[in-house]
Amino acid sequence: MALKFMTGNSARLIKKPQDFSQKFKYLLVLDFEATCEKEIPINKPEIIEFPCLAVNTNNWKIENSFHSYVKPKINPILSPFCTDLTGIMQETVNDEQHFPIVFHEFCNWLNDNKYLDDDNNKSAFVTCGDWDLKVMLPAQCQYDNIQLPNYLKQWINLKISFYDAKKHFPKSLRDMLRRLKLERQGTLHSGLYDAINMAKVIQELGSNYKTVFDITNKN
Ligand code: AMP
Ligand code: MG
Ligand code: MG
């Protein structure tokens, strides 16, 4: 970026050092957990955990969070494998709302906190891989006849941001934590802890690798 300034009658151009300022004020870190079975692709997986953390890119701190478990409708009984993988118990989802209500609460949370503006330029969603927003959310919205909002049709795949910084395409969240020498918090495949650990990766890339986060994929 160049700065223009006046000396006497002449306008000159001077170069600023490379500008690492972020495009988005907030990175909204999202990680769904869904119903699943061991080794076989489940017919119509449903979202059972819905966490979202708002990371402020001025200081890389988690400023706010949304978190809810979700009661599945099509396959209401969780498989033992699913409980084992995610740590989510049957009793936990039994007491929760179905997806349409939780999604409505989530959209209200986004609006109440003013994370969205007219051009969707204030915030961007960040996921680990493309599955959450490319596959899972569109499928869940289709089951429930919900129109997918435009602001959820683009996202940042954290693995691509990681590749930009480290020139290695990571296999998983665990791989990113290990390569950045970051200590994992909580258990893997808990939606909330996955999001917390993704926020740690974001903090490290943003503050120490000067990664500029930008949209990597659209639906
Ligand atoms: P993750 O965010 O990596 O915890 O994965 C999100 C969802 O993908 C999980 O809630 C499961 O529905 C599914 N999933 C992840 N890993 C596996 C696995 N090894 N076997 C079956 N389903 C999985
Ligand atoms: Mg995930
Ligand atoms: Mg997860």
Write down the domain spans for the chain. Answer: 23-218
Give the span between the Cα atoms of 215 and 197, in whole angstroms. 20
What is the band of 12 on the pLDDT scale with cuts at 50, 70, 90? very low
SS3 205: helix
Low-confidence winner among 14-18, 34-38, 57-61 (lowest mean pLDDT): 14-18
Ligand 1 site-directed mutation target among 33, 132, 201, most atoms within 8 Å of CB: 33
Residue 7 pLDDT level (bands cut at 50, 70, 90): very low
Return d(Cα 48, Cα 93) in angstroms, integer: 7
pLDDT in tens, 147-199: 999 999 999 999 999 999 999 999 999 999 999 999 999 999 999 999 999 99
SS (H, E, C) 31-60: CCEECCCCCCCCCCCCEEEEEEEEEECCCC
Q: Is pLDDT at 33 greater than 50 in this prediction?
A: yes
The residue nearest atom 4 of ligand 1, judged by CA position, is 189
| pLDDT at res. 120 | 75
Ligand 1 contact, 33 CB (< 6 A): yes
CA angle 105, 109, 114 (to 5 degrees): 150
pLDDT tens-digit readout, 55-112: 999 999 999 999 999 999 999 999 999 999 999 999 999 999 999 999 999 999 999 9
Q: What DSSP line would sit under 135-163, residue for residue?
A: IIHHHHHHHTT-PPPGGGSEEEEHHHHHH
Q: Which of 67, 63, 74 is nearest to 33 (CA)?
A: 67
pLDDT score of 16: 46
Q: How many residues does the chain have?
A: 219
Q: Is the CB of 86 under 6 A from ligand 1?
A: yes
Ligand nearest to the CA of 40: 1
Domain 23-218 adopts which CATH fold?
A: Nucleotidyltransferase; domain 5 (3.30.420)
Q: Which amino acid is at 16?
A: K
Residue tagged 């500029």 (tokens): 212
Q: How far is the CA of 11 from the centre of ligand 3 (A)?
A: 54
Q: What is the pLDDT of residue 20?
A: 60
Residue 5 has pLDDT above 80, yes or no: no
Q: What is the pLDDT of residue 117?
A: 83
115: its two tokens: 């994370």
Residue 20 carries which side chain, given as an amino acid letter? F
Cα separation, 176 vs 121, whole angstroms: 27
Report CA 215 to chain centroid distance, whole Å. Answer: 12
Rounded-to-integer distance, Cα 141 and Cα 138, Å: 5
Q: Are strands 123-127 and 154-157 parallel, antiparallel or unpaired?
A: parallel
- pLDDT at residue number 62: 98
Record the tokens describing residue 176, joined without a space: 């990113």
What mean pLDDT comes out for the span 7-12?
43
